[in-house]
Structure 1
Amino acid sequence: MTSVVDIILIVAAGAAGGILLNRTGFPGGGLIGAMVAVMLFKALKGADITLPSNVKLAVEILIGITVGTMYYPGMLLELKRLAGPILVSSSLLIVLGFVIAIIYARFGLLDSSTAFLGTNPGALSAMIGLSTSIDAQTPLVLAFHFTRIVLVILTAPFLLRLFNYLMR
């Protein structure tokens, strides 16, 4: 069982890592810094510290509130106009993830649940939450999505410049 002190230390480590990396100007520094700091803390402590479900729920609610505040008037009209491209791109990502998951599972690299959740698009917190509720290897699902997030954050500025150059 995780103690209150462990929870406080995890939160402090995550906050320190997030603030530190954010102040360096690293893209997505708050998120990446917090994740890396907590992982390092847990590795150094050598204990399996997990947050209680009510704390996880509070974090999910805060993320939901943060996303909800991004809504602006006229957004639904814009989303209606872009519904086709949104559905096509999302569907293609899901199908591609599905195909990759089949390959990983068929070759015995991963069990089917872990392969599916690891290779499909989705918010890290949602996919981790889902992986804990089904028979999937949560640390491996985390590794897939953590790597995806870091790679997207690190390559996005370069790829956006390349994309804008190619679109001229």
Structure 2
Amino acid sequence: MSRPTSLSLATLPAFAQWLLLILLAGSAGQVFRYFHVPAALFLGPMLVAIGFGVSGASIRLNKHVFRLGQGSVGLLVAHSMTMGVLLTAMQSWHVMVFATLLTVALSAAVGIGLARWGGIQGSTAAWGTSPGAASAMVAMSEDYGADSRVVATMQYVRVVCVVMVGALVSRVIGADAGGTDAHATEALLQGVNLLNLGLTVLTIVVGVTLGARVPAGALLVPLLLGGALQLSGVLHITMPNWLLAIAYGAIGSYIGLRFDRVTIAYVWRRLPAMILGALLLILLCAISAWIIAEMMGKDFLSVYLATSPGGLDAMAIIAIDTHSDVGFVLAMQTLRLFGVIVTGAYIARQVIRVTQRLA
């Protein structure tokens, strides 16, 4: 590994790097928020952190902080999960299953293409294009002989592409993207008191702890726990703007800082193929979303976010900020996550088998 140059961020003390990251990430989030960019408080810190990562920054966000951020998003989504939303999701289960199978099939096809023409090993390509939680896919890929460095890069490259395209689509469509200070957050702040805030934070911590050994459990368990407590009337979920900003910033910074120089150098020659594969998968999912939206009579943006091959947390943030059908987005993304976790190893074997036949 080459020594850092005089202009490298690695030459700065860790404290100075953290201070600079917090200031720039917070400023970027507020600037994006001022211009009504969807998921501004998430997207801004993520882009700044990517710049830090590839510029040689030595700091890394603790994974427990990242998980607490996911838990906060889970509670935020749980606030939108009403009995009416659950009933609507149950009525659309057949469409959700169809969309899940279609997205998994499309991702497998893109994986085959990357393995055949992108110079990426079959198992690695399969796990790298799997439309599940990035952290879960990277962890599972290690057990099946894939190169976790390439898988991680493919997953996070796709996350960046999905978030950027999702924000762009939301903007072009003209969604009411007022940021986290719009009506979803206003509802969260009604009746704020220290007891509700304390119970909300406690639910996040307990949920993240219980979900430590579950794929995407840091988001799913607090979501399910918070939703159950809210539906039963035990908890009134309360999350002030500062807590949401910290949660969004933690998730965005964790993802962005993963793009260090070593990882980028390792995959540099394959990066164009990865980006092309990610954009192709996004396009195919967008076409399928249009078909499903026509079938269901739902708005395109909600179906697009539901079928988009990004992470649960990222899509949930954009869905909330654009006032899309959060329950539908969450239900389909969760169903697909479980489907990919269950079938991931089988799909990887099939991708390897097909690429070997084509070789």
Name the counterpart of 1:115.
125
- Mean alpha-carbon deviation: is it higher for 86-95 or for 21-30? 21-30
Task: Give the superposition deviation at 1:95.
Answer: 0.8
Aligned pair partner of 1:104 in 114, 122, 138? 114
Task: Give the superposition deviation at 1:90.
Answer: 1.8
The one-character-per-residue Cα deviations of 1:81-122 (angstroms, maximum 9, x if unpaired) are: 111111111210111011111221233433345433443334
Aligned pair partner of 2:79 in 49, 69, 77? 69
Alpha-carbon distance change, 159 to 91 in structure 1, aligned in 2, over 3 angstroms: farther
Alpha-carbon distance change, 128 to 94 in structure 1, aligned in 2, over 3 angstroms: same
The one-character-per-residue Cα deviations of 1:126-151 (angstroms, maximum 9, x if unpaired) are: 31453256342223321122112211
Aligned-residue identity in percent: 20
User: 8 Å contact 1:98–1:116 — kept in the other structure?
Assistant: yes
Tell me if 1:26 matches 2:37. Answer: yes
User: 8 Å contact 2:112–2:122 — kept in the other structure?
Assistant: yes
Rg: which structure is higher? Answer: 2
- Mean alpha-carbon deviation: is it higher for 10-19 or for 138-147? 10-19
Q: Which amino acid aligns with 1:88?
A: F
Q: Which amino acid aligns with 2:62?
A: P
User: 8 Å contact 1:21–1:29 — kept in the other structure?
Assistant: yes
Tell me if 1:131 matches 2:130. Answer: no
Larger relative contact order (CA 8 Å, sep ≥ 6): 2
Structure 1 unmatched runs, 5+: none
Aligned pair partner of 2:88 in 63, 73, 78? 78
Alpha-carbon distance change, 42 to 103 in structure 1, aligned in 2, over 3 angstroms: closer
Superposition pairs of residues 55-66 of structure 1, within 5 angstroms: 55-66=65-76
Whole-angstrom CA distance in 2 between matches of 1:7 and 1:54: 17
The one-character-per-residue Cα deviations of 1:19-53 (angstroms, maximum 9, x if unpaired) are: 22111112332222121111123344x22432122
Structure 2 unmatched runs, 5+: 1-12, 176-289, 295-359
Alpha-carbon distance change, 111 to 153 in structure 1, aligned in 2, over 3 angstroms: farther
Q: What is the TM-score of this pair, normalised by structure 2?
A: 0.39
Count of residue correspondences: 158
Q: What is the TM-score of this pair, normalised by structure 1?
A: 0.75
Alpha-carbon distance change, 62 to 117 in structure 1, aligned in 2, over 3 angstroms: farther
The one-character-per-residue Cα deviations of 1:32-83 (angstroms, maximum 9, x if unpaired) are: 2121111123344x22432122212212222222222221122221111111
Name the counterpart of 2:163.
149
Whole-angstrom CA distance in 1 between matches of 2:40 and 2:57: 25
- Mean alpha-carbon deviation: is it higher for 129-138 or for 23-32? 129-138
User: 8 Å contact 1:117–1:127 — kept in the other structure?
Assistant: no
Q: Which amino acid aligns with 2:154?
A: L
Q: Which amino acid aligns with 1:121?
A: P
Measured on the aligned residues, the alpha-carbon RMSD in Å equals: 2.9
Alpha-carbon distance change, 112 to 66 in structure 1, aligned in 2, over 3 angstroms: farther
Whole-angstrom CA distance in 1 between matches of 2:15 and 2:64: 13
After the TM superposition, which segments of 4 or more aligned residues of structure 1 sit over 4 Å from their partners? 2-9
